[in-house]
Amino acid sequence: MSFELQGELFALATALCWTFGMLYFTQAAKRLGANVLNHFRLVLAALFLGVAVIIINGIDLVQLFSLPSLTSWLWLGFSGFVGLTLGDWCAFHAFDIIGPRKTSLFYTFAPGAALLFGIFFLNERISAMALIGMFITVAGVFWVIFNRKSQETHNHHISHVKGVLFAIGGSLTQGIGLVFSKIGLQQQEGILTPLHASWIRLTIAALSLFTISIFRNQALGIVRSIAKADSTAVRYTLMATIISPVIGVSLSLYAANLISVSIAQTLFSMVPVFILPVSWLLYREKITFQAFLGALIAVAGVLILVWRNELTALVF
């Protein structure tokens, strides 16, 4: 199996993890609130990944902190702050103002952001066939999201504009964060594993989020809310954290390390497509013809991305 195919499979597995994680996080957010949940999940993810890195990589607690170089800490830490702390903060605000469906529409900009910053910072180049596959995939995902029925109503113009800006900010920071992650991994290629890099990202994200909350005099209230959380909320949070930030984020770095960040980010955007069969199986939600057609278009785009080299040889 080629490295490119491995990276693409890791990226699709990432999207699948984020799909199931979203379902559990939704249930947890109803009980804890989005802000408390965001703090709780990042702390848990950093702790779980720290233990996993020590066991899997065969290092001790001191090496967990000392093995990464200062440049790796800086790039990966900045990636964690931009992509997880700032990005998720923008996403939660956008969800609250314009709703999840409209917010997801703007997240189709993330592959474009990853492409532009990948060219600028990583000197990545992708073929015309890959660009076609990316465009078709994003178009299919956009169609799935756009045609899903929604009861969201946000009539206040100023509030709507703020929500759109938060959504755009969240999509851009997601793509940029992935690029900075790859730069951080390249600082110690062959020494620093994607799993270890994921721990750095999540650790810095958790620390920076709590630092912001301390300055806003919210940290104590958040800790109290976590301490008072009922067992159901904790269970949902634990399950979602293991599936999404721990496994999902780690797989995303494995993918970004093997393929271009723009292609990886495009495959990550398949979450709205994956959510269709999962919602049907678990909740018997009806899949409209438009959503089904959009899913087929997105899958066709993915197939073009996977077979881009073979198709390029045939066409050109």
Note whether residue 137 is domain-resident: no
Note whether residue 274 is domain-resident: no
What burial class does residue 153 get, using C-beta atoms within 10 Å of its C-beta: 0-12 exposed, 13-18 middle, 19+ buried? exposed
State the average pLDDT over residues 3-17. Answer: 91
Backbone φ, ψ for residue 216 (5° rounding): -95, 10
CA neighbor of 73 nearest in space, from 199, 177, 211, 179: 199
**Taking all residues of the chain, what is their mean pLDDT, rounded to a whole number?**
87
Check residue 232 and give its pLDDT: 93
One-letter identity of residue 214: I
CA distance linking residue 314 with residue 140, whole number of Å: 24
Note whether residue 106 is domain-resident: yes
Question: Domain range for residue 118?
Answer: 3-128+152-259
pLDDT greater than 80 at residue 45: yes
Check residue 316 and give its pLDDT: 66
Residues 6 or more apart whose CB falls under 8 angstroms from that of 53 comprise: 59, 64, 193, 195, 196, 199
Choose the weakest-confidence range: 237-241, 243-247, 276-280: 276-280
Check residue 158 and give its pLDDT: 66
Share of the chain above pLDDT 90, in %: 45
Share of the chain above pLDDT 70, in %: 95
Choose the weakest-confidence range: 84-88, 199-203, 225-229, 312-316: 312-316
Note whether residue 213 is domain-resident: yes
Confidence of residue 151 (pLDDT cuts 50, 70, 90): very low
Note whether residue 308 is domain-resident: no
pLDDT greater than 70 at residue 148: no
Note whether residue 286 is domain-resident: no
Looking at the 3D structure of the chain, how many domains does it have? Answer: 1
State the average pLDDT over residues 230-249. Answer: 92
Confidence of residue 278 (pLDDT cuts 50, 70, 90): confident
Q: What is this structure's pTM?
A: 0.86
Note whether residue 283 is domain-resident: no
Check residue 212 and give its pLDDT: 92
CA neighbor of 198 nearest in space, from 177, 169, 175: 177
Check residue 160 and give its pLDDT: 74
Note whether residue 278 is domain-resident: no
